[in-house]
Structure 1
């Protein structure tokens, strides 16, 4: 496809903007980042809670920006083109889609949402086109990928300007499929607007992010955006976990509208199901049942949560019209996302596992998996994030105590909160279980202490940070990698 530059007039029409000046000026890109604004770039001025980007308008215009999108009136002394809009974030998405010629229309775009499992599910789905010999694009919590190019993710769901640009690059590279994690906050901020989804996946909904959403009702309302048309259109196929009661509600609503739904489940009847699952530290096996046939399935992933992630990927692959043998062959080889029930290799006779679980439901699920594959004790190291939803701290403590033999409560990313207060909040939940525990605010010391007491056939579970290689204390970011620290502690045991 040969693309041509878009004019400011076309962007004004696409965003319902009031345009002053420069109707025929050509736009080659859209950016919310003043550092990336230059010749041909339309700058989006967003007034955030901590920073008002309007302060950078003089410098972006000097750098050559072609104009500004803003919710504010055009300043009297402003000389360039000004597009005034009602909602600047929505306009940012639609202007980026227009400038990059709606790249999602040239792709099979898969959006994955839910509280838990998004990242692993995205990795699994992306492995399917790769197994078919196709380049694939993927964005998520860990990394952004276009074909063989990989870079560390800045956020789970990129800003709309970055997302549309990345998808256009994927089209140019020859990708047929792109997979993205769609967080609830990202959808609230219109980062997923003006994208056309071939497949939308709903994994589950449990308590999280209530510091932002306040209520579960608000949280659910945000998640439903991916399916109900508020992003601009409805997905061609919705893949939904109907073992989750929110999923049942969603599937029923979509089917009543005559939309295509593929249901997956472990506990109830569904289109894609698994029977007779078996788990070990080396992986899992189960009997896979699909509309395209049945298979005996083996995977290096461990635990019931990964069965759900696999079923979601199988259903997505079928929705994308891949052959079932290509799908199962890809998933049988895929090791999933880093930091998700990831073993730290060592020569000892006990296991050390790092996992990203950072909510009570996720922690409970990973502990259930740990309990299924551990003959000895489970020693759990975990903490809770500072400046985040404090209501989940005691439930996380209770989850940790309920299935662990020993708990070491430590810091996660305390940010600007007092680490000892965070520990005290979580401690209330642990105390309900009556399990032995220690409070060690220093995460390195906590990991060392857990490994020092591990015995034959035990498991040390280090939860909360997974793939992350940093810790935020105050407003400073320090290098910290749970796997690295665990290996250091193991070398000294």
Structure 2
């Protein structure tokens, strides 16, 4: 329970109806969750507008409603009008839960690719160092005491985020590592949080279209907001947009990379493939001088490990802890090996757009497979352009492609595959269509030749398939293992 005036600190508002002298027992933006004494925040989303459910919320007992439009209501209710209800909700949630981020060191990671892996690497380094910490991102909400929860978004909405931060702080966590998505930044989910370190990985064309970002510039500007909220900044010096991302920032900027001069640099990179799988070894120079062995393969993971390493160094974690963690770390669904044979390799990865698919294939080409066999599909109710681009990328870079179903959602798998096929046909790439994903995986394994590298892309860490609103269990690791 909290006083309304206290919740609205830092919020610019007008009280258009009712009294400010009231208490709020609960906060929500879903009218189905309203109880007597609730504050109901009307969010205007791409599919639903909370203002349409205002009357329902009041009937259920909402004491306060936060709106961004002129509304006409009846009943004993206070109406607070703000410019942007998403932005206001971030501050209200922060105040309701007692600003929990202020009692922890917050490390935020943004970029098109590498957020999840970098976050997991840094989280594991903190755990290895013996400090209490938490992780929020694509893989869910984790704590070093063993707690694990699923998360519906990479960056949860502000109410969920602040509640989880409160629980982390109450559990004694002194650090929280979190992935900060462009959508999370666009919709103010981390507004009111100051990050001890903001990490920028890279930027490429993605998430542009209806319901996402109107332009690449908007996408980039949203990413930059994280760095503007950070006290120290770690950036990939090799990324072509790093100049834009760091321009006019007040905080000190530190760099990592492979090609450009930087604070921590990887040299003498060696890609190894043997009967124990795929790994990469490199030597660091600059702040840290170590020989690093990663069992997560490829150049992309060299960059991810450098980002985590630089942030860990700034947080005071020892070189030995960093080295040891990187030697053993693995991340579910991120170039994750499934060992079923000494004759060929199988990896699972979350690559679900053309940029990440190209990066993945080029990374795995460094291990010189006899054939690179790619199996993937595309999600339903997403841009058809993404499907065409992924098809063209697959046809151009893989030896054999198996087109299958991903999460078709409310579309027909065959229609999605047809869109991908249009991109494939622009190339000379060989491909086969097997709509059933289980059958496709079984086929790929059964046809494997010695020296092959089979890539199962698109779903990564997910253990379900979404079809017409239902989530059906689907564990690709088990499917691969059962194919032998």
TM-score, structure 2 as length reference: 0.92
Q: Is 1:486 matched up with 2:480? A: yes
CA RMSD of aligned residues (A): 2.2
Are the aligned partners of 1:29 and 1:99 in contact in 2 as well (CA < 8 Å)?
A: no
| Aligned partner of 1:288 among 284, 306, 316 | 284
Q: Is 1:156 matched up with 2:154? A: yes
Residue 369 of structure 1, CA deviation: 2.5
Q: Is 1:425 matched up with 2:422? A: no
Q: Distance in 2 between matches of 1:224 and 1:389?
A: 24
Farther-moved stretch of structure 1 (240-249 vs 466-475): 466-475
Gapped runs of 5+ residues in structure 2?
A: none
Partner SS state of residue 457, structure 1: coil
| Aligned partner of 1:385 among 375, 379, 385 | 379
Task: Give the ranges of 4+ consecutive aligned residues of structure 1 lying more than 6 Å apart after TM superposition.
Answer: none
Partner SS state of residue 195, structure 1: coil
Distance 1:30 1:330, change over 3 A: farther
Farther-moved stretch of structure 1 (305-314 vs 473-482): 473-482
Gapped runs of 5+ residues in structure 1?
A: 229-233
Are the aligned partners of 1:14 and 1:98 in contact in 2 as well (CA < 8 Å)?
A: no
| Aligned partner of 1:353 among 344, 347, 350 | 347
Q: Distance in 1 between matches of 2:75 and 2:37?
A: 18
Distance 1:100 1:434, change over 3 A: same
| Aligned partner of 2:8 among 3, 12, 17 | 12
Residue 477 of structure 1, CA deviation: 3.0
Q: Distance in 2 between matches of 1:421 and 1:208?
A: 22
The Cα offsets for residues 124-164 of structure 1, whole Å up to 9 and x where unpaired, read as 11112211211211111111123321011111110001111
Q: Is 1:193 matched up with 2:197? A: no
Are the aligned partners of 1:70 and 1:85 in contact in 2 as well (CA < 8 Å)?
A: yes
Q: What does 1:192-211 align with in structure 2 at a 5 Å threshold?
A: 192-211=190-209
Q: Distance in 2 between matches of 1:326 and 1:487?
A: 33
Residue 175 of structure 1, CA deviation: 0.9
Which residue in the other structure is 2:393 paired with?
Answer: 399
Q: Is 1:93 matched up with 2:90? A: yes
Which residue in the other structure is 1:231 paired with?
Answer: none
Are the aligned partners of 1:198 and 1:235 in contact in 2 as well (CA < 8 Å)?
A: yes
Q: Distance in 2 between matches of 1:64 and 1:149?
A: 34
Residue 66 of structure 1, CA deviation: 4.0
Q: Is 1:273 matched up with 2:265? A: yes
Which residue in the other structure is 2:321 paired with?
Answer: 326
Q: What does 1:25-424 align with in structure 2 at a 5 Å threshold?
A: 25-27=22-24, 29-38=26-35, 41-54=38-51, 57=54, 65-73=62-70, 75-147=72-144, 148-211=146-209, 212-228=212-228, 234-251=229-246, 253-254=247-248, 257-280=249-272, 281-291=277-287, 293-335=288-330, 337-347=331-341, 349-424=343-418
Are the aligned partners of 2:55 and 2:73 in contact in 1 as well (CA < 8 Å)?
A: no
Partner SS state of residue 145, structure 1: strand
Residue 237 of structure 1, CA deviation: 0.8
TM-score, structure 1 as length reference: 0.90
Partner SS state of residue 119, structure 1: helix
Partner SS state of residue 217, structure 2: helix
Q: Distance in 2 between matches of 1:263 and 1:40?
A: 49
Q: Distance in 2 between matches of 1:151 and 1:164?
A: 15
Which residue in the other structure is 2:435 paired with?
Answer: 441
Distance 1:268 1:49, change over 3 A: closer
Residue-pair matches, total: 476
Partner SS state of residue 259, structure 1: coil
Partner SS state of residue 245, structure 1: coil
